[in-house]
Structure 1
Amino acid sequence: MALPELLRRLRLNSGMPLAHVAHHIDAEPTSVHRFEEGRRPAPYDIVEKADELFSAGGRLIEAWRRDDAERHAAAGAHRTKAAALAMSHDLSALSELDIAALQEGVDATAVDYLASPPAPMMDRALVLRADALERIRSRHHRPADRSDLYVAAGRLSGVLAYALLDMGHPGEALAHADAAGRCAEHAGDSGLAAWVAGTKSLIARFQGNYNKALEYVRGGYQWAGSGHGTGETRLRCGEAQCLANLGDSRAANDALDGAQEARERIRQEDSLGGLFGFSPAKQSYYAASSLIWLQGGRDAERAAREATAAIALWQAGPVAERSLDDERLSQIYLATARVQLDDVEGAAEAIQPVLTLPVQEQISWIVKRADRLAQMLSEPRYAGNRTAAETVDLINALAT
């Protein structure tokens, strides 16, 4: 039995709550959840502590060693595939190397990422980027294709940055974002450079460093040409998230208004969508996820409107542009805004679709944001409120 399944089974059989287990093995509850889902490998020292806690007699340690060996073998296989792919291209007619197939792979990965787990997207991006870099190094391409190859390598580095961040590794994510930025510089692609600035800001926000995140955003405006794609809109929404978390309601709302003005100025669409686009649904999602960190009132009212708009846009829009995880988080943001407005019944209704998700779809951010909602519903002013109590119980059952 693989380690994630065994760890989850032992915890459930023990009857220990997730938070209790996390405390005794020196880990965060969201990290334990990731270990059980297989979304993140558990460190050996954590596994040792868990084996002792559950009196597993070395079974968890044995499973860890087996899984670790499989990971190393898989990594070797990925490197072999990348090398074989590059070699095959070298053996092709060098004067006719066509990068169309590579670009198609980049385009498909950018779209598929919205509805796929990060690990397989990371694996695909690694193979494709190895191909792009080999072509650049070997100079087995037409001179006119060199810029396109750098853009492809940069976008694939961007995919890796997002995947590592979604898997809980911001440091590694930043290294890939830096690589994407260097590729954008070599290619002279301002759109990619603006996207990289927004992604670096996202990584800093993940780490709770909102002042640094604000620096990245404001540094990125130099690359966001007015009317050219959604780069400025995305950056202004990122600025709003920073300002809201820093407690500046007026500036956060101004940034969101600026994002809408930037969208209305767009005259040239993004050259690539999916992960590298910024749809109106995503814009509303960012607005809601910003304003729920303020003090309620008008901010909560706008957050509720924006979350509702994001959900409706995703449900009515093209399947390829639907980001299920973000849509589910929007349900939580809507519920959070309604609690801030003292609408407990409305909050319970909003979060209901999230509470029935299978465990493999309960990503760490869903659990984390739902936990905050549960804390709000557990405040003394809701004591005796049956709906609040029932909703808290259902939230606590997530990932347990």
Structure 2
Amino acid sequence: ATGANGALVEQWRREDQARQEAAAVHRTRAAALAMSRDLTALADLDITELQEGVTATAVDYLASPPGPMMDRAHTLRGEAFERLRSGHHRPQDRSDLYVTAGRLSGVLSYALLDMGDSDEALEHATAAGRCAEFAGDAELAAWVAGTKSLIARFQGDYGRALEYVRDGYQWVGAGHGTGEARLRCGEAQCLANLGDSRAANAALDAAEDAREGIRRPDSLGGLFGFSQAKQSYYAGSSLIWLQGGHDAERAAREAVAAIDAWQTGPADERSLDDERLAHIYLATARVQLDDVEGAADAIGPVLSLPLEDQISWIVKRADRLAGMLSAPRYAGNRTAVETVEAINALAA
């Protein structure tokens, strides 16, 4: 009757499929959140066959979209949770099950944060913290403190983020893993956002000292490790919040170092989302140094990303860059205008 040749039906089909997919994601999120609340309230919690799944998930997360990782972590944690609740485990496995459930809660926390829901992310992180407490695992507890600080920074509450970091220092031991270096870098991000250049740079220097003092590696890598590339990434993402000058110069150097390290280093340590964000931080530092052409070159790889790879952090940080390039001083700069248009198209 309309002469649409099936176009209307096809449009309905696509939208109906999108609705079904959104409903499936909502069901998984709701079920995962309910389990996090149960784990948080559980006063008693423990497995070896699950640990391989946790290890693979921690590594795979660095190069995978958050949605599939959320599904996998929820499924694995369900098995760990059932064994803990039913008591179907050996007594000596109890602590390992706590750690397993805690790490999978940590994966869910990161996934929900990458999907833009910081409130649900915090509940999963709280569950991870309770598991660390029941297991007596200081390494996981320090990681949770750093993750809670990350969530608070995402929410823009840098005072609370700083409290989480400083509370986490009680869990780090001399030379035991990368926990202290991660917390020091988190502290630098807080201090930079609070406008304290000297303290932020001092915290980054302290993170370098902590890395040099490592005598025992992390018990698990991937999402739960903190590589040199990640440390450089944190340094770059901290100092771009200051007033430019020497801070912007260091931020640019650190962002370049992070990108180079990820592109040339071991594949299982490459964090694609963070590598993409490092391009945005490099572009931001270059704008602060009045290098618009260099900024456009730096963000180029991000602007062609497919929708499923555009995590919330990318849109959030690229939007700030667009605001900087929209300043009146760049009104006649064609490169600045075109880059802003491309960022706006990415967000749309």
Matched with 1:144 is 92
Pairing partner for 2:235 from 267, 274, 287: 287
Q: Which runs of 5+ in 2 are unaligned?
A: 1-6, 36-45
Match in the other structure for 1:183: 131
Offset of 1:210 from its aligned partner?
Answer: 0.6
Aligned partner of 2:190 in structure 1 is: 242
SS state at 1:397 partner: helix
Deviates more, 1:277-286 or 1:125-134: 125-134
- Number of the residue aligned with 2:42: none
1:381 aligns with 2:318: no
Q: Tell me the residue number matched to 1:274.
A: 222
**Cα deviation 1:328-350 (Å, max 9, x = unaligned):** 11111111101101111211221
Confirm whether residue 109 of structure 1 aligns to residue 57 of structure 2.
yes
> In structure 2, which of residues 179, 182, 191 is the aligned counterpart of residue 231 of structure 1?
179
| Residues 324-371 of structure 1, C-alpha deviations (whole Å, 9 max, x = no match) | 111111111111101101111211221121222233322232222222
Is contact 2:48-2:96 (8 Å) kept?
no
Q: Deviations over 1:172-211 (max 9, x none)?
A: 1111111111111111110001001001111111111110
Q: Does 1:207 align with 2:155?
A: yes
- What's 1:40 paired with? none
- Give the partner amino acid of 2:280: I
Q: 1:316 to 1:64 in 2, by over 3 A?
A: closer
Q: Does the CA-based 8 Å contact 1:291-1:299 persist in structure 2?
A: yes
State the distance in 1 between where 2:28 and 2:331 align.
Answer: 52
1:349 to 294, 297, 302: 297
**Contact 1:359/1:399, CA 8 A, preserved across alignment:** no
Task: Using the aligned pairs only, state the percent identity.
Answer: 76
* Partner Cα distance (1:69, 1:301) in 2: 46
1:121-132, aligned counterparts within 5 Å?
A: 121-132=69-80
TM-score, structure 1 as length reference: 0.76
**Residue type of the partner of 1:211?**
G
Give the whole-Å Cα distance in 2 for the aligned partners of 1:329 and 1:307.
Answer: 9
User: Structure 2 vs 1, CA of residues 327 and 194 (structure 1 numbering), >3 Å: closer, same or farther?
Assistant: same
TM-score, length-scaled by structure 2? 0.87
Taking only aligned residues, the RMSD between alpha carbons, in angstroms, comes to 2.6
Counterpart for residue 254 of structure 2: 306
Q: Are the structure 2 counterparts of residues 164 and 393 from structure 1 closer, same or farther at C-alpha, using a change threshold of 3 Å?
A: closer
SS of equivalent to 2:346: coil
C-alpha contact (below 8 Å) 1:158/1:196 kept by paired residues = yes
Residue 298 of structure 2 corresponds to residue 321 of structure 1 = no
Q: What letter matches 1:391 in structure 2?
A: T
Per-residue CA deviation, residues 86-137 of structure 1 (Å, 9 max, x unaligned), is xxxxxxxxxxxx9332110010111111111112111111121121122223
Equivalent in the alignment of 1:134: 82
Q: C-alpha separation between the residues in 1 aligned to 2:193 and 2:282? A: 17
Quick check: 191-200 or 130-139, which moved more? Answer: 130-139
* Partner residue of 1:154 out of 87, 97, 102: 102
For residue 243 of structure 2, give the secondary structure of its aligned residue in structure 1.
Answer: coil
Letter in 1 for 2:103: R
Is the partner of 2:218 in helix, strand or coil?
coil
Gaps of 5+ in 1: 1-8, 11-55, 83-97
1:174 aligns with 2:130: no
Cα distance 1:386–1:69, how it changes in 2: closer, same or farther (>3 A)? closer
Distance across 2 between alignment mates of 1:107 and 1:241: 28
Task: Choose 1 or 2 for highest CA Rg.
Answer: 1
Describe the SS at the equivalent of 1:398: helix
Q: Quote how far apart the aligned CAs of 1:253 are.
A: 0.6
CA distance in 2 between counterparts of 1:386 and 1:344 reads 10
Aligned-pair CA distance for 1:66: 4.7
Q: For residues 265 and 305 of structure 1, do their structure 2 counterparts lie closer, same or farther at Cα, with a shift above 3 Å needed? A: same
2:151 counterpart of 1:192: no
**Does 2:201 align with 1:257?**
no
Deviations 1:275-318 (A, max 9, x none): 10001111111111110010000000000000000000000011
Looking at structure 2, the residues matched to 70 and 270 of structure 1 have their Cα atoms a distance apart, in angstroms, of 35
1:61 offset after TM fit, Å?
8.9
Q: What are the residue-to-residue correspondences of 1:58-97 with 2, within 5 Å? A: 66-67=20-21, 70=24
Matching residue's letter, 1:109: T
Between the aligned partners of 2:276 and 2:211, the Cα distance in structure 1 is: 24
Alignment correspondent of 1:371: 319
More displaced 10-residue stretch of structure 1: 342-351 or 212-221: 342-351
Q: Which residue of 2 aligns with 1:358?
A: 306
CA 1:61/1:120 → structure 2, altered by over 3 Å: closer, same or farther? closer
- Structure 1 partner of 2:342: 394
Q: Which moved further from structure 2: 161-170 or 131-140?
A: 131-140
